[in-house]
Amino acid sequence: MKVLVINAGSSSVKYRLYQMPQEKVISMGFVERIGERDSELSHSYQNRIHTEPVKVANVGEAMELVLRTLVSEDRGVLGQLSEIGAVGHRVVHGGEEFTGSVIIDEKVIASIEKFSDLAPLHNPPNLDGILAVKRHLPDTKQVACFDTAFHATIPKVAYMYALPYELYEKYGIRRYGFHGISHRYVARRAAQLMGRGKYDINAITCHLGNGSSLTAVKNGHSIDTSMGLTPLEGVPMGTRSGDLDPAILFFLEKKGYDVQALNDLCNKESGMLGLSGISNDMRNIEGAAGKGDERAKLAIDVFCYRIKKYMGAYSAVLDTVDAVVFTGGIGENSVLMREKICDAVSQIGLKLDRQANKNAIGKEAEINTQDSDVKVFVIPTNEQVAIANDTYGLTKEQATDRIQPEHLKEYQV
Ligand code: AMP
C-alpha cells in the first residue's frame, strides 16, 4: 500500500510517499514560503530532485500542487491519485482527547478545530492539509498523528500548573508536551538497540533542534516532558526562551510591551538568538564561540546548563535511567553539545566515549564507554516513518503503537 505522509505548517507543506509496509520512500518534497512571493516546490522522483518557483497562496493550494505533482506526466510517481491507499498527517495538538493516532472523521476534524485555541499557529494549517486532501481524495482514509499523544501518560502531578484549578477545568490549561512522535520513535528504537521490549526501558530522550524538548520515559511511557501548554516551556531553543519567571512579562508590560510584542519576544527573539545576538542556528553559534565570541559561548553554556538541570530532574523522576538518547538537528549532529551535556551529567552514571561521539554525525550510534552504567545513543528521528506506520496499521486494522488503557490508568495519580 502507498501511504502519503503530510506535515502541513503555516509556511510549508512537507510530504513523503511511502511503499508500506516496506517503509520505502517513493518520493518526498516540500512547498516552502507559502503565501510569499518566492514560494518554491521541491520534489524528488526516480533519484532526481526537481525544484521550481511556484505561486501558492495557502496550505490548500500547496496540497493541491503536491497532489498534482505526484501524478504529473513528466515528474509524477503515480499513474493516478487513487493509488494512494491512505494519508497520514502530523497534527500538533490533540488536547486530552487523543492518546494515539486515529482515523479522521467529522468528529476528529471538529476536535482538531477545537484544539486550535491551544495551538493557534499549528492546528489550523494541519487541518487545512486534511481538508484539502479530503476535497481531492474524498474516499481515501486519512489518519491524524498527534504530537501530544505520546504524552497522554504523564501523571496529573506532572501536568498540573499551580494555578487556580478552575483554569484547568474551564480552559484546559495544563502541560501537554510536544515532539511526541519523535520521543516515541527514538525511545522505541533505543529499546530495540538494547535488545529489550518497548515497555522495558527507562530513558531520557533529548530532542534538540530549533525547537527542543526532553522527555522522561518510564517503562516505555512518557511520564514527564519539558514543553507545556505550548512549545514555549522548557529548555531554551533557537528563538524561544524556554522557562522563565512569568513576572518578567508583567514587568515588561509596565514598560510598554503589549501582548503581541511579548509573544514575539518570547517565541521569536529569545533563546539562542536572544542570548547570542548572532543567530538561532547552533552551527553559527558554535562557529562564533570557536572564534572567542563571549555571548555565543554564554548561549551554549546556558543551553547545556538548562539541559543538565532537566536531566538531573528526570533522573530523579525515573529512579533508574537505562539510556539517554540524542535526536533532532543538534542532538544528531553536534559533537560539541553532546560532549558538553554528557560531561555535565556524569553523576547519573553516564560515561561518554569521546571518539564514538566524534564519529556519530547524523547517524545512529552508541556513544557510551563499555563501563558506562547508562547507554547513550544518537538516533536520527524519523517522525515520517512513525506516521506512515501508524497510518498503515490503522488503515489495515492492525495493532498500532498506541497507549493501552491500562497504562493510561497506571500513571494517573
Ligand atoms: P531541527 O530543528 O531538528 O532541524 O534542528 C535544527 C538545528 O540543528 C539548528 O540549530 C542547526 O544549527 C542544528 N544543527 C544541524 N547540524 C548541526 C551541526 N553539525 N552542528 C551543530 N548544530 C547543528
Q: Please provide the DSSP assignment of 276-335 as one string.
A: HSS-S-HHHHHHHHHTT-HHHHHHHHHHHHHHHHHHHHHHHHHSS--EEEEEHHHHHH-H
The alpha carbon of 238 and the centre of ligand 1 are apart by a number of angstroms equal to 10
Break the chain into its structural domains and give their ranges.
2-146, 196-378
Q: How far apart are CA 238 and CA 303, in angstroms?
A: 10
Residue 281 Cβ contacting ligand 1 at under 6 Å: yes
Residue 238 Cβ contacting ligand 1 at under 6 Å: yes
Query: Which atom number of ligand 1 is nearest to the Cα of residue 280?
Result: 10
Q: Which amino acid is at 208?
A: L
Question: What pLDDT was estimated at residue 413?
Answer: 45
Residue 330 Cβ contacting ligand 1 at under 6 Å: yes
- Could you tell me if 228 and 93 are in contact, meaning their C-beta atoms sit under 8 angstroms apart? no
147 in catalytic set: yes
Query: Which atom number of ligand 1 is nearest to the Cα of residue 335?
Result: 20
CB count in 10 Å sphere of residue 360:
22
Helix axes 247-254, 259-268, angle to 10 degrees: 130
The alpha carbon of 357 and the centre of ligand 1 are apart by a number of angstroms equal to 16
The alpha carbon of 21 and the centre of ligand 1 are apart by a number of angstroms equal to 30
Catalytic residue among 74, 139, 147, 319: 147
Question: What pLDDT was estimated at residue 398?
Answer: 80
The alpha carbon of 287 and the centre of ligand 1 are apart by a number of angstroms equal to 12
Pairing of strands 323-327, 375-378: parallel
Q: How far apart are CA 216 and CA 224, in angstroms?
A: 5
DSSP string, 118-171: T-TTTHHHHHHHHHHHHHH-TTSEEEEEESSGGGGG--HHHH--SS-HHHHHHH
- Could you tell me if 214 and 307 are in contact, meaning their C-beta atoms sit under 8 angstroms apart? yes
Q: How far apart are CA 78 and CA 242, in angstroms?
A: 44
CATH number of 2-146: 3.30.420.40
Query: Which atom number of ligand 1 is nearest to the Cα of residue 210?
Result: 2
Question: 196-378, which class in CATH?
Answer: alpha beta
Residue 282 Cβ contacting ligand 1 at under 6 Å: yes
pLDDT average per 10 residues of sequence, the chain (413 residues): 96 97 97 95 96 96 98 96 97 96 97 93 96 97 98 97 98 97 98 97 98 98 97 97 98 98 96 98 98 98 98 97 98 98 96 98 98 98 97 89 76 56
Question: What pLDDT was estimated at residue 411?
Answer: 65
Question: What pLDDT was estimated at residue 401?
Answer: 84
Of 14, 282, 284, 340, the residue with max ligand 1 atoms within 8 A of its CB, to mutate for a pocket test, comes to 282
DSSP string, 225-287: ES--SSTTSSS--SS---S--THHHHHHHHTT--HHHHHHHHHHS-HHHHHHSS-S-HHHHHH
Q: How far apart are CA 177 and CA 159, in angstroms?
A: 9
* Smallest CA separation from ligand 1 atom 23, residue: 330
CA 389, 331, 272: angle at the middle one, nearest 5?
A: 120
Distance of CA 63 to the CA centre of its chain: 21
Residue 286 Cβ contacting ligand 1 at under 6 Å: yes
Q: Provide the whole-model pTM.
A: 0.95
Query: Which atom number of ligand 1 is nearest to the Cα of residue 272?
Result: 10
The alpha carbon of 335 and the centre of ligand 1 are apart by a number of angstroms equal to 11
The alpha carbon of 208 and the centre of ligand 1 are apart by a number of angstroms equal to 8
The alpha carbon of 330 and the centre of ligand 1 are apart by a number of angstroms equal to 4
Nearest to 85 by CA among 394, 319, 302: 394
Q: Tell me how far apart the terminal alpha carbons of the chain are, to the nearest angstrom.
A: 41
Nearest to 143 by CA among 20, 47, 280: 20
Of 334, 335, 379, the residue with max ligand 1 atoms within 8 A of its CB, to mutate for a pocket test, comes to 334
Residue 321 Cβ contacting ligand 1 at under 6 Å: no
Residue 209 Cβ contacting ligand 1 at under 6 Å: yes
Query: Which atom number of ligand 1 is nearest to the Cα of residue 285?
Result: 12
Residue 329 Cβ contacting ligand 1 at under 6 Å: yes
In terms of C-beta density within 10 A (0-12 exposed, 13-18 middle, 19 or more buried), how is residue 31 classed? buried
